[in-house]
Every structure is written in C-alpha cells, then in structure tokens.
Amino acid sequence: MSDPAPIDASRRRHPSLEPVPQDHFAHPSERAFARLLNLYGFAWSYEPVEFPLEWNELGVPTKAFRPDFYLPERRLFIELTVLEQRLVTKKNRKVRKFRVLYPEVELLVVYQRDFVALLEQHGLGTLDSFAA
C-alpha cells in the first residue's frame, strides 16, 4: 500500500488552529445549526481551521476560508450559507477555490433553503427569527 500524495508544504504550514469558544458564533443561525447537530448527537467544533486560499510573494496567506463547523467523527466540514444572493456568489467562489486547493477535504455547503427546511422540520422557527 502506498501513501497518498503528500500535501503541499505551503498549505500545511499556514492553517490557523486557534479555537473559537463554542458559545461564540458569528451569526445566530450558526447557534441554531449547532443545536441541530447536538440534537442528532454529532460531536462538532466551530470554525476550528482556516484554509489559506491565496498567498503573497513571501508565502504569507492573504485570503482564507474558515468553514463554520467540523464533525470529527465524519471528517466533514460544513459551511452554513444563509446570506443574500449577492454574498452567496462571493462565498461560492471561495468554496470552488477551496475545493481545487484541498480536494482531500470533505466539505458540505448548507444553503439557505435547506437550512430553512431543517428549521421548519424541527420547529425551531424561521430564518427571520435568527436575523441579527
């Protein structure tokens, strides 16, 4: 059995592993999504890793992507997207770049319509009830 292709050294040395406290969320919808993960018994971390997407001439990351959740038992990152369409387009560009640079990393993007359906299915209110 041979080892998989090595990960590019410049990508390995830059990810930020600074943890974010579990009670600190960038948007209330993320707190609701965390409640759903807890409901189903998933172990998770909030924004545990930042993946560089662009570097300057010195090799310092200048643009990065930090998925919202990581489920270690499934080795899965989740990005919750409940933004306005104009902002979703920008995020989709980041996701596409992420997938090119890190094809070995599993990422699930949960879009607004799917998130709304989950909220309704579990009686957790509407997306408007989570507006900041």
SS3 letters across 13-35: HCCECCCCCCCCCCCHHHHHHHH
Six token digits for residue 65: 């992507």
pLDDT tens figures, 51-92: 999 999 999 999 999 999 999 999 999 999 876 667 778 889
User: Of 8 and 116, which is predicted with more confidence?
Assistant: 116
Contacts of 126 (CB under 8 A, 6+ apart): 116, 119, 120
Beta bridge partners of 63: 54
27: pLDDT confidence band, cut at 50, 70 and 90?
confident
Name the percent of the chain lying above pLDDT 70: 74
Domain spans, the chain:
37-53+61-127
The pTM of the whole model exceeds 0.85: no
Query: Looking up tokens 């997407």, which residue turns up?
Result: 53
